[in-house]
Structure 1
Amino acid sequence: MEHLRRRGMARPAPVAPRIPTLVEEFDLWMRQHRGSAARTLADYRPLAAAFVASRRGRRWDHLDAKAVRSYVIEECKTLTPARRLVFVRALRMFMRFLVATGRCRSHLDRSVPSMPHWRLATLPRYLDEDVVERLIASRSTTTLTGVRDLAVLLLLARLALRAGEVRGLCLRDIDWARGQLRVVGKLRRPTWLPMPQDVGDAILAYLRMRQRCQHEQVFLCIQAPHRPLGATSVRGICQRAIDELGVKTPGKGAHIFRHSTAATLIRHGATLDDVGRLLRHASRESTAVYAKVAISALSRIAQPWPEAVR
C-alpha cells in the first residue's frame, strides 16, 4: 500500500487519532508497575482517552466521586455486560494511576462502582479430548503453514499457554538439553515448564522449515515481511483449524484450548492444585471453576432429588 500511495494510486493512510499525553503516561505506568500485556492496554487506552476527553480540560484535583460515578453510569447505558466489566476495570486502573502520580485525591479509585459478576456462575467452555486431538491431527506436516500451526496448537493443548505467551515465545526460552521452555505470563513472571516430546518435535520441525530472519520470536507470519505473529494471529490459527475440521465448538479462540486442557486433567483425576500449577494461577479460586466438570467426582457427593426419596 505504501508503494501505491507513493505513486498516487491509493488514498493516503488515515491519520490515527492522537493519544493524549496523559494516556501515554498511563500506558507506560501500566507496563512498568502492573506488567500489563499489550492486548490489555489496547483495550484500556481508548477508554482512558474517552474519559480524559470528557473532562474537557478541567483540573484533575477537582475531580470528585460523584463525577466519576455519574460518568460510569452514563457510559454503561450503551455497553454490553461483558464490555461493562472491561470499562470499569480500565477506568479503575486509570484512577489508580492518577492517585499514584498525585493528580487527584487518594482513594478516588474506590469511587468506580463494581459491575455484577459472579465468577463461578457458569461452566467453563471447553472441547472434548477427542476433538482437540482431531484438530491437532488435521494440521499438515508438509507445508510451512501446517507445521507452524501444529506447533502452536500443541503448545495450547499440552501446556495450556495463553495466546500472548505463544506469540512471545523466543528461541532463548527453549532449553533443548533439559527439555524445558520458559513462559513469561501475567505480571511478567517467568516459569520453566517441561516440554512434552510431541511439542518439542513440532517446534523443531517448524524451526527447520522456518524462514531465515533476525527475529528472536519462534513463530512468524508466513507471508513477507516475515515478522512475529500479531495480536490476533494465534486466534486465527485456532479458528482456521476449527473451521476446516467442521466441528461445532463453544468458542474458536486460543483460550478454549486452555480450558480444555484443565477440564481433561480434572476428568482424568488431577487435583485442582495440579491444574492450578500448570495454568500458573496465582489463586486457587481461579482454578475452582474447573471442579464443575469433574462429573465422576461430583456424582459421588450428589444428593438424591427430594421427590426421588419418597
Structure 2
Amino acid sequence: MTILPAENTFLSQIIDDWPHRACVQSVVKLMMDQGYSAKSIRSTIRTITAFIEWMKDHHYGNPTQLTYDDPDRFTEYRAAKGILLHGELRSLQRLGAALVEAGVVFPSPDLLEPFDDVNGKFEADLRRRGYASTTTSAHLRYSRQFLRASWIDGSGISHLHYDDIRDYLAGHLERHTAATSKVISSRLRVFLQFCWSAGVTELDLAQAVPMVKNHRLSSLPSFMSADQLGRVLASCDRATVAGRRDFAILLLLSRLGLRASEVALLSLDDIDWHAGLVRVHGKGGRVAAMPLPQDVGAAIADYIVDGRPTSGSRIIFHRVETPCTPFSTATPVILIARRALKRAGVTGLRSHHAHIFRHTFATMAIRSGVSLTELAQVLRHKEPDTTRIYAKLDTEGLRSLARPWLGANL
C-alpha cells in the first residue's frame, strides 16, 4: 500500500505502537482512491491520531479492543472541551468502518436487536440459496420491520398465529399500491417459510399471507415521444464532466433499453471496442452481449477519456464530486434520469423514473416494426409475456385488427 510521504511519516511518529495501524492505512488508501485532497487526508489522520491518544490517556478498558461507543465518547469529550472540529465525526466514522471490516470492533450490547440472531440466520439461508446481495438486503429490510413489530422478549415470534399475520398485513398494506403490496407479501412469505423450516415458529405462518393481485398488463406503459427524448438528451451540458457522464448514461438507457442497475454497474471489462459489443449483467445473474451503437460508444469513450476520475475500480461511471467513488447501486442513475427529465421540462408522464427510457425504447421499437419476440430478446425478458404490454402501443397494428363499425353506413 502506498501512502503519501507526509502522511506516512505522520503515522509512523504517532501510532506505530497501535495494534490497528493497518486500519488507519486502509482509511488513507480509500480516501486517496476516492480523490480526496491531501489536506482532507491529513485532517482525517490528525483526528484519528487524537482519538487514539485519547484512548491511551484515558485507559478506557483494553485500548486494543474498541466498541461502537468509543468514537461517540471521544466526540462528546471534544465537544465538552470546545475543541471538536468540523469533519471530525466523519473521520471517525471512516475509522469505525475499517475497524468493523477488520473484525476488531466490538458492538455495544444496547445496539443489538433481540432478533438479530434470527435475521442473521435468515440472511445466511438466502445467500446459501443464491440470492443476489441487493435482493438479500431487500428481504432483510422487510423481515427486520416485521420482527421489530412482532417480537416479544422471551417468546420471540413463536407465539404468533395466523390472525396475527393477517392483522400485521392489514395495517401495512392499506397505504401501498397493489404492486408494492405484492412485494411486501411475497417477501414476508419467504421469511415465514424460513421461520417454519428453522423451528422459529410453531406454525407455518406463510399460509396466512394472502396472494395480492396486481394485473401488470391492465395499464399502458408511460413513454416519451421522440421530441421529448431529444430534449432530454440535449439538456446535458457536454462541456462539463457531469454532462458528458450523464449523456452517456442516458444514451445507454434510451438506445439499448438497459435498466438503471445495469448501467450503474457497467464495467470497463464489459465493453469490447473492437467487436462493438457490450456485455450486460441483467437480472438473476444472466449475462447478454449486445451491439454497441457507434454514438453510444463514442459518448462512453468521451467520458472515459475526458471526465472519468483516476480510479482503482473498473466500474465506468463515478461520482463527479468528492469522494469520486464508483457507482455501486442504481440510485445515481435514477437521480440522473430524473434531473434530466426535469431540465428538459418533460411533463405529463405517469412516472419520472429511469425506467421511462426503457419503455420509450420498447415503444419506438414496436412502432418501427420489431416483433414482440425480437423485442423480448433485446429487453432480455425472462418471461415472454412480460413484453406483451407493448403490443397495446402498436396503434397501427391494432387498427388493422379492428372490425368495421356497422353503423358507419347508416
Q: Give the secondary-structure state (helix, strand or coil) at the position aligned to 2:373.
A: helix
Aligned counterpart in structure 1 of residue 374 of structure 2, from 247, 251, 274: 274
CA distance in 1, matches of 2:202, 2:397: 51
Structure 1 residue 61: deviation in Å?
Answer: 5.8
What per-residue deviation string (whole Å, max 9, x for no partner) do you get for residues 276-307 of structure 1?
11111011111111111000000011134565
Alignment match, 1:224: 322
Alignment match, 1:130: 227
Q: Which amino acid aligns with 2:140?
A: R
Contiguous gaps of at least 5 residues in structure 2: 1-39, 48-74, 94-109
Alignment match, 2:15: none
RMSD: 3.1
Q: Check the 8 A contact 1:140/1:146 in 2, yes or no.
A: yes
CA distance in 2, matches of 1:116, 1:47: 19
> Is the aligned partner of 1:26 residue 2:126?
no
Q: 1:98-247, aligned counterparts within 5 Å?
A: 98-99=195-196, 101=198, 103-104=200-201, 108-209=205-306, 210-229=308-327, 230-247=329-346
Taking a change above 3 Å as real, the CA distance of residues 304 and 61 of structure 1, as seen in their structure-2 partners, is farther
CA distance in 2, matches of 1:16, 1:225: 29
Q: Give the secondary-structure state (helix, strand or coil) at the position aligned to 1:192.
A: strand
Q: Which amino acid aligns with 1:275?
A: L
CA distance in 2, matches of 1:255, 1:108: 35
Structure 1 residue 24: deviation in Å?
Answer: 3.8
Greater mean deviation of Cα atoms: 60-69 or 4-13: 4-13
CA distance in 1, matches of 2:112, 2:202: 30
Q: Which amino acid aligns with 2:363?
A: A
What per-residue deviation string (whole Å, max 9, x for no partner) do you get for residues 83-120 of structure 1?
32332122122224335556457965343102231111
Q: Check the 8 A contact 2:366/2:394 in 1, yes or no.
A: yes
CA distance in 2, matches of 1:20, 1:206: 44
Structure 1 residue 187: deviation in Å?
Answer: 0.9
Greater mean deviation of Cα atoms: 154-163 or 4-13: 4-13
Aligned counterpart in structure 2 of residue 8 of structure 1, from 60, 81, 84: 84
Alignment match, 2:29: none
What per-residue deviation string (whole Å, max 9, x for no partner) do you get for residues 16-64 of structure 1?
98682333443454455353462x5554433211211213243556655
Alignment match, 1:290: 390
Greater mean deviation of Cα atoms: 169-178 or 57-66: 57-66
Alignment match, 1:253: 353
Alignment match, 2:145: 50
Give the % identical residues: 33
Q: Check the 8 A contact 1:235/1:252 in 2, yes or no.
A: no
Q: Which amino acid aligns with 1:214?
A: G
Alignment match, 2:191: 94
Larger RCO, structures 1/2 (Cα 8 Å, 6+ apart)? 1
Taking a change above 3 Å as real, the CA distance of residues 80 and 269 of structure 1, as seen in their structure-2 partners, is closer
CA distance in 2, matches of 1:264, 1:91: 38
Structure 1 residue 205: deviation in Å?
Answer: 1.0
Contiguous gaps of at least 5 residues in structure 1: none
TM-score by length of 2: 0.67
Structure whose alpha-carbon radius of gyration is higher? 2
Q: Check the 8 A contact 1:35/1:186 in 2, yes or no.
A: no
CA distance in 1, matches of 2:291, 2:168: 48
What per-residue deviation string (whole Å, max 9, x for no partner) do you get for residues 198-221 of structure 1?
111111111102111111111000
Q: Which amino acid aligns with 1:238?
A: A
CA distance in 2, matches of 1:252, 1:286: 21
Q: Which amino acid aligns with 2:388?
A: A
TM-score by length of 1: 0.86
CA distance in 2, matches of 1:188, 1:222: 29
Q: Check the 8 A contact 2:244/2:302 in 1, yes or no.
A: yes
CA distance in 1, matches of 2:124, 2:132: 10
Structure 1 residue 121: deviation in Å?
Answer: 0.7
Taking a change above 3 Å as real, the CA distance of residues 292 and 238 of structure 1, as seen in their structure-2 partners, is same
Taking a change above 3 Å as real, the CA distance of residues 211 and 294 of structure 1, as seen in their structure-2 partners, is same
